[in-house]
Structure 1
């Protein structure tokens, strides 16, 4: 058993926790994002969370404004679900959120969207007839862009310290935010402070209890290093009771994040502020169902990873020239932890202009596909590490005249051309 290096349990403040898994994720050169994930389980309430040092937390905060926002704003894929956007998949997620929220609100109420990014959900609500709309986001880059296109009041700030007066909102929404927070207890307390009597607090988070049901890539729901809390409904409800909220209802959903291959398990919880104040009892603790489900998930991913390592081991043995397409979470993890670094890397490819301009891996430049693949030799390998875009990348590679072999890193199938 190991103690948390920087903090107690984010929910119950218990100092004793156990490390249940560690992942070395890899990083772009000079990235502020912490390179190693340490998954902890509280030995009192059973909550699962990432353990960060003080320096790692500071780096994560810098990462949001410097890397995260610009990478999303520069993305060439306009369909995928991106923070605060109006893309098709994002709108589908807004539909799910609104279905959970709509029975409890009306258009004359004022609504605060915490973590609003570009203000996409505020636009969605405006289309539905709501007019008293407000937003807040910690990334200055997002807020600057949102203010250019929106007429709402959007402020720079964060969920743990809202830049608004007491008791001014009827409804507060935190969609895909709570899992990013170092202090979720403070976020609930801030919501209580800013809400009016009987105010509604709606939260959307990835559902950690169903990580194992939605496979996309090895350990992917943990490789989202921005997600430092892993919630199920029991622990969200515990947070609510401790802050004086009643859980009115919750919904388990799934939504496509990128293409149809990346399906995220999601959880919506709707709370109402009560007059009774904070409350909890002994039954709130010793809830280790999430730990058991997380163990199942980890075992599944370990088995998948071992199969993928065999594919990479063959490439290491052959030393064929390897072009990797998709320099994101999947690539960085494979590069650091699955042996990809020992392959004969001939080029790194990504369509994102921000990555081409600003990002390197071990001083290797990230480039556009055109020049690299058109001159690649027949014995070379194209390793598709942007898993969600596998089919479109195959089509582009063939259109560019790539003569080598294509590996899509799907453990069920590889294809040659």
Structure 2
């Protein structure tokens, strides 16, 4: 396999200053004076360049990237095809608004998504800017199509920061606290969470959830059931086998729109082009964003033609939706995924990381669970001797890794999950280096 050209950035971890360095500290002072305090940062370092598995900060430190800008730079932060496609589009035009004078890039992205997403039925696509915006539009489309109002989501879910998607998101702090009241007619069902479900298999977990939906909502009132095939912010929770197919079958039986939120899982991230592919689940609507465009803001709703065509003309859209630069980037990112075999590369990354992390789990009882697929892997940290979540340990471990130049992220309802989302252009050597740092750091923590 040919990995993305990263020759313009040395692919090794290198610390030339303490972190943060003096230039980053100066920029942070400016940030604190100019940017709203509600906009936080994971690490107090400012990026200058990035490629492959490395982010270079303004002080010249080379950091191992195990976050991909939260699963966005899947093909790399400066993938050559993406860079060249955007350069060419900038020279042609930056914007006309597709709803005013359309352009072929939008149509080509829609055609690509119709081809690539699960199922061989006739499809339509609409383009937007962010994952939350796409989720909201999926709900709009489902409500118009069914003539119903209610939406069911799941424990630990994360769907965005807009008013409706905050209602759909489970975790209060920092996403919802103080921002209510939230949109009505959103109901929450229990998820399949194998690490904490005991012996409950996927079919039984689905029956538990659907029994609650029947009793508390009623299928006749339900427009859509929205679920992440593998949860993102909620803790990289992968439901037990059979859970998703059972939900999809129930939705078909009751004419409920089954919506897969693949904002974080899509575009080769999980070792399949889409996470739904692993069990052959075909959603009615699929929501994509993040890895779709190599770092440019773009999202989409793709689905069954008869559902997608339900809204009236003018009911879907937005000034920037399907911006021509983002469309050019998306086409180049899709080409990179297909040409460079990145679905296979994600599986290689997953095998390497799971082997290393499960070896660590066998030696350290604080690593309660290791889970994930492809380049979407997590460890759930607990108090030794049980399954009590240990958020303090997760925070300390992430901080220790950051100090050694490894970008890692935390997540989970309990704040005790360390998640790994490396770009698919990363080398095995960098993965091992980052995991070496993590293992050493964990061993040093009480």
TM-score (norm 2): 0.30
More strand by share: 1
TM norm structure 1: 0.32
